[in-house]
Structure formats: C-alpha cells, structure tokens
C-alpha cells in the first residue's frame, strides 16, 4: 500500500451509502488505485489549480461522474472530504469552496489534538 485513506467527518460515507452497487464498486476500484499506485493517472486523481492543495478523485460510471474532494497530509495520507455527482463540465465553485473549508477545519482540529 502506497497511501492510507482517511475519511474526514461523515461526508464521504454518507454519500457512498446512498449510491447504487455499480457506483460503489467503481468508487472502491478508484480508491484502490489511489491507495496502491505510485503515480495515479490524471484520469482518476487531478490537482485543482488555485485551491491550495485540493485534489479531485474522479469516478466515472455509465451515466454519472462522481467527484470526491481530497488532499494529502503528511505525504502518504490522503484525506477524503465532500463528494458530489458532477452534472456539468465545470466543477461548481461552491463545491470547491466547501472542500477548501473542510480542509481548513481538518487542520484546525488536528492542531487542537496535537497540543
């Protein structure tokens, strides 16, 4: 295993639990790639410019495109944040802002725990 995955809050798990079996299988497949492949293809993991380290995990299923916002912490730990089904070519700004906000909350909580 190249990376460890951490779920921040219940955002990912709540989203995942509402998906059909085919979508869950594809999400599992892509997360396994992210966990185990040194250089994950941009088709599955893309850096979002201008977001201070936010990435989007891309999962394409027959009729929908799932996006999972994430970031790296301490190199080999990838933290999963909010998820959504992408309905247009452009990622909605408010989803990106939510991901940035959750990332900031994560580090604030981490600092409090480490005092």
Cα separation, 111 vs 70, whole angstroms: 19
- How confident is residue 16, by pLDDT bands cut at 50, 70 and 90? very high
**Is residue 100's pLDDT more than 90?**
yes
Identify the CATH assignment for 4-113 out of 3.20.20.70, 3.40.50.720, 2.40.50.200, 3.30.2310.20: 3.30.2310.20
Give the pLDDT confidence score for residue 13 in this predicted structure: 96
Domain boundaries, the chain: 4-113
**Is residue 1's pLDDT more than 90?**
no
Give the pLDDT confidence score for residue 17 in this predicted structure: 97
Give the pLDDT confidence score for residue 74 in this predicted structure: 87
The tens digit of pLDDT for each residue in 50-92 reads 888 999 999 999 889 999 999 999 878 999 999 999 988 888 8
């Amino acid at each position: 295993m190249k990376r460890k995955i951490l779920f921040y809050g219940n955002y990912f798990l709540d989203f995942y639990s509402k998906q059909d079996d085919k979508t869950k299988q594809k999400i599992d497949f892509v997360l396994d790639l992210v966990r185990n492949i040194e250089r994950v293809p941009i088709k599955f993991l893309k850096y979002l410019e201008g977001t201070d380290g936010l990435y989007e995990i891309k999962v394409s299923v027959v009729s929908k495109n799932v996006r999972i916002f994430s970031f790296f912490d301490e190199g080999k730990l990838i933290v999963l944040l909010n998820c959504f089904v992408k309905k247009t070519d452009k990622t909605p700004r408010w989803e990106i802002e939510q991901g940035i906000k959750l990332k900031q909350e994560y580090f604030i909580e981490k600092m409090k725990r480490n005092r």
